[in-house]
Chains A and B, each alone.
Chain A
Amino acid sequence: ETVLTQSPGTLSLSPGERATLSCRASQSVTSTYLAWFQQKPGQAPTLLIYGASSRATGIPDRFSGSGSGTDFTLTISRLEPEDFAVYYCQQYHYSPFTFGGGTKVEIK
Chain B
Amino acid sequence: DAKTTQPPSMDCAEGRAANLPCNHSTISGNEYVYWYRQIHSQGPQYIIHGLKNNETNEMASLIITEDRKSSTLILPHATLRDTAVYYCIVRGDNDMRFGAGTRLTVKP
Q: Do A and B bind each other?
A: no
